[in-house]
Amino acid sequence: MKAVTLGDDGVEIKDLPNPEPTSEQVLVKVKSCGLNRSDLLETQGQSFGHTGGDTKIIGGEFAGEIVKLGEGVENLKVGDKVMCRGGSGWAEYAVANHKRAIKFNPEQISWEQAASIQGNLQTMHDAIVTNGKFISGQSVFIQGASSGVGIIGLQIAKALGASKVLGSSTNQDKLSKLSSYGANILIDTSKENWLDAVLDATDGKGVDVLIDMLSGDFVNKNMEATKINGHFINIGRLAGMNGNFNYDLHAKRRLHYVGTTGRTRSVEENIDVARVANTDLWNYVIDGKIRHVIFKTFSLDDANSALNLMNENKHFGKLVLLTNQ
């Protein structure tokens, strides 16, 4: 099979043997693969726990058709169309834990959407609802909202009844598009006074829930942008892995500051995250109220071009690989 691998010589397309499912896995003939920031960071030397070995196959998210079942698999059959999360997904065939393979109907959800919707849906539901303790009528600020996961976050906040949905970007063209996906207050974080705009929109109090995609030197202003006793959830580090954290400000605002990632969860924990997210949100996906913006698709052979585009950060929405099989 053809696979996108990461080794000493960087990202390469190689011909490898098809994987075999264990008793708890399904073998999937892959149709489409989602690109996530973690995939890019992995190619730049950070470890994100994907399976592999001497030849590591990249990719944590994919969709396709089940072609073989492990002996312990229940509630799935050969021929089922599934959305999967796990590892080693950028290939013509991949395996997934059967509890992380979610059936879908391609007549309702395209292969491009199926490859990429689950990761972002689960990430943002976990941030906004599970850790952010959001309830209908509260305000939500997606700090760094023009990425694929950020756009999903805006739609989730709107669908669940947020009174105010704030979305930010440093890029004017991207910022202008956010109102089409749920943002009713646009924050230009390229301006020094962006915090004033947040406070003006919230009667000087700050937002109830802030989802931080940026980190870095934004951290202290983000705390000021969150109301006293509000929830500040960190899920991304686009502006830097480190920053000057003002502990006194954090204490004064009595913030519920939580960092969250799927990288250190067990399989069982990730299964539970998926279950609660889909219980709350899947009907909105089927109804078209929550949808990915597919910016561009690439062939598996052109994975390096997709990674380069993500690294340039010039896209708006999601990048997807197609296997064309």
SS3 of residue 51 by DSSP? coil
Residue 162 clears pLDDT 60, i.e. is over it: yes
Q: pLDDT band at residue 263, thresholds of 50, 70 and 90?
A: confident
Q: Which residues pair with 34 in a beta bridge?
A: 320
Please write the tens of the pLDDT for every residue from 235-251: 988 778 888 999 999 99
SS3 of residue 208 by DSSP? strand
DSSP 91: B
Please write the tens of the pLDDT for every residue from 36-87: 988 998 888 876 554 444 568 999 899 999 999 999 999 999 999 999 998 8
| CATH superfamily, domain at 123-259 | Medium-chain alcohol dehydrogenases, catalytic domain (3.90.180.10)
Q: Which tokens in the block code for residue 169?
A: 């970007």
pLDDT for residue 240: 82
pLDDT for residue 48: 56
CB 234 within 8 A of CB 259: yes
| CATH superfamily, domain at 2-103+293-322 | Medium-chain alcohol dehydrogenases, catalytic domain (3.90.180.10)
pLDDT (mean) for 5-26: 93
pLDDT for residue 314: 87
Please write the tens of the pLDDT for every residue from 273-320: 999 999 999 999 999 999 999 999 999 999 999 999 999 988 999 999
CATH 3.90.180.10 residue spans of the chain: 2-103+293-322, 123-259
Please write the tens of the pLDDT for every residue from 106-151: 999 999 999 999 999 999 999 999 999 999 999 999 999 998 999 9
Burial 38-58 (b: 16+ CB within 10 A, else e): bbbbbbeeeebebeeeeebbb
3-state percent helix, strand, coil for the chain, nearest multiple of 5: 35, 30, 35
Q: pLDDT band at residue 325, thresholds of 50, 70 and 90?
A: confident
pLDDT for residue 62: 97
pTM for the structure as a whole = 0.92
pLDDT for residue 102: 96
Residue 261 clears pLDDT 90, i.e. is over it: no
Q: Which of 45-49, 91-95, 260-264, 317-321 has the lowest mean pLDDT?
A: 45-49
pLDDT for residue 239: 77
Please write the tens of the pLDDT for every residue from 166-177: 999 999 999 999
Q: Which tokens in the block code for residue 30?
A: 């892959």
pLDDT (mean) for 22-28: 96
What percentage of the chain exceeds 70 in pLDDT? Answer: 97
Which is it for the CA torsion 206, 212, 213, 218, positive or negative?
A: positive
CB 89 within 8 A of CB 62: yes
Check residue 52 and give left, alpha or beta (phi > 0: left; psi -120 to 50: alpha).
left
